[in-house]
Amino acid sequence: MPNTLSAERRMRKSERRHQRNRAVKSRLKTIEKKFNALLKEGKIEDAKKYLSTVYSAFDKAVKYGVIKKGTADRKKSRIAERLSQAATPAAKK
């Protein structure tokens, strides 16, 4: 238990941030799974339209400080790579 008033406030603040971070991370995972499902089903055009939603979600998570910029950039890059490979099956080896 916190001993001081400021420690009590920090504890409440930490819990609020924890809940927000969990919600944002859960949303990111859901969005990424939905995008991967679109690719797996072969719905390339829908995936291309959904790509901006994916990018936006990752950028907002960075803005809120939930994930680091490098992490978001890496995930966006890999998502774009998956989309381009799915769009051009002849390029696969």
pLDDT of residue 88: 85
Residue ranges of domains in the chain: 5-87
d(CA 83, CA 38): 10
Residue with tokens 């991370």: 25
Q: Is the pLDDT of residue 89 over 80?
A: no
- 5-87: CATH topology: Methane Monooxygenase Hydroxylase; Chain G, domain 1 (1.20.58)
Residue 20 CA neighbour count, 13 Å, CB half:
12
CA dist 55 → 1, 14, 25, 29, 37 (Å): 40, 27, 14, 13, 16
**In 3-state terms, the chain is what percent helix, strand and coil (to 5)?**
85, 0, 15
Q: Is the pLDDT of residue 72 over 90?
A: yes
d(CA 80, CA 50): 11
What confidence tens digit (pLDDT) does each residue in 22-68 have? 999 999 999 999 999 999 999 999 999 999 999 999 999 999 999 99
